[in-house]
């Protein structure tokens, strides 16, 4: 497990001149693009829009990158699976762990933005690791299912990429949920009930608004993640018997 996590972290930026600095630069560049592309549509309606963006973009990237890499992790390690026996789920657990480490490193950017833009810090920041672990449990369940199915159905990784692109716009990363209050009730509720909406709101409560997050929402997401993880582990164990033949 330890070796695989190190490999995932180092391999992600292997051969790159800037190395792990891309953990900072990727979300930062995305935030700058959105900040300048939507200067009037969003910035005027949302106070501290730059900090608002960064507190949504980095948690979303944590979800996006880990789900994407987790979906293809079994196939990407097909050569090892055929030669050495070890618990196959380690490949997916290590993806979540390395993604969590990268996320915690990237949180330094959020703290810098909070300081530079005058938002400041609060005691609520102590909950950020807990929220990130709840997100990790949620991600774990998803990739246990997707990673196993992707071995048999190769179209899964492309379908997942499409769904993730759609899910980005169904999550208030670049906009505020309040802006949908005048829209249809169905659309508003879909965005509101999105687990990533609840998680990103919790991060913003800690970093930006300096209030305690909605515990009910966090319990809902944690319970959902736990149920999906249990189901995902069962699905994974059922499908892993044929991994070597399919790969």
Q: Report residue 82 CA to chain centroid gap.
A: 30
Above 80 in pLDDT, residue 22? no
Residue 65 to residue 27: CA distance in whole angstroms: 11
**∠ CA(34), CA(65), CA(5), 5° rounding?**
140
For the residues 226-240, what does the mean pLDDT come to?
A: 94
Check residues 123 and 2 and name the one with the higher pLDDT. 123
Q: What's residue 61's pLDDT?
A: 92
Q: Quick one: tokens of 51?
A: 């900090």
pLDDT (tens digit, 9 = 90+) per residue, 80-120? 877 878 888 999 999 999 999 989 988 988 999 999 999 99
Q: Quick one: tokens of 137?
A: 């449990």
Give the pLDDT band of residue 18 (cuts 50, 70, 90): low
Q: What's residue 33's pLDDT?
A: 77
For the residues 144-164, what does the mean pLDDT come to?
A: 92
Segment of 86-100, 131-145, 153-167 carrying the highest mean pLDDT:
131-145
Strand ranges, E, within 151-237: none
Above 70 in pLDDT, residue 11? no
**Which of 44-53, 104-113, 149-158 is the least confident region?**
44-53
Residue 2: Cβ within 10 Å count: 8
Q: What's residue 40's pLDDT?
A: 60
CB-based contacts of 190: which residues, under 8 Å, 6+ apart? Answer: 170
Alpha helices (H) along the chain = 2-12, 22-37, 49-76, 78-83, 90-116, 128-152, 156-169, 185-192, 195-204, 215-239, 243-246
Given a contact cutoff of 8 angstroms between Cβ atoms, the answer to whether 24 and 31 are in contact is no
Of 84, 106, 82, 86, nearest to 94 (Cα)?
Answer: 86
């Amino acid at each position: 497990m330890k070796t695989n996590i190190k490999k995932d972290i180092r391999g992600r930026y292997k051969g790159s001149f800037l190395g792990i600095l891309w953990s900072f630069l990727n979300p930062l560049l995305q935030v700058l693009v959105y900040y300048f592309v939507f200067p009037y549509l969003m910035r005027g309606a949302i106070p501290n829009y730059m900090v608002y963006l960064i507190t949504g973009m980095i948690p979303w990237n944590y979800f996006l990158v880990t789900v994407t890499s987790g979906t293809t992790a079994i196939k990407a390690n097909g050569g090892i699976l055929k030669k050495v026996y070890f618990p196959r789920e380690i490949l997916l657990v290590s993806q979540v762990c390395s993604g969590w480490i990268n996320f915690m490193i990237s949180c330094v950017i959020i703290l810098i933005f909070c300081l530079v833009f005058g938002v400041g810090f609060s005691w609520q920041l102590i909950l950020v690791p807990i929220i990130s672990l709840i997100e990790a449990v949620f991600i774990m369940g998803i990739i246990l299912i997707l990673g196993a199915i992707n071995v048999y159905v190769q179209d899964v990784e492309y379908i997942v990429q499409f769904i993730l692109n759609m899910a980005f716009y169904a999550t208030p990363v670049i906009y505020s949920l309040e802006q949908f209050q005048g829209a249809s009730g169905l659309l508003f509720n879909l965005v509101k009930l999105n687990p990533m909406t609840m998680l990103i709101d919790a991060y913003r409560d800690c970093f930006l608004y300096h209030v305690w997050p909605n515990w009910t929402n966090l319990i809902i997401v944690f319970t959902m993640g736990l149920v999906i993880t249990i189901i995902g582990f069962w699905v994974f164990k059922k499908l892993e018997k044929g991994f070597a033949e399919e790969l």
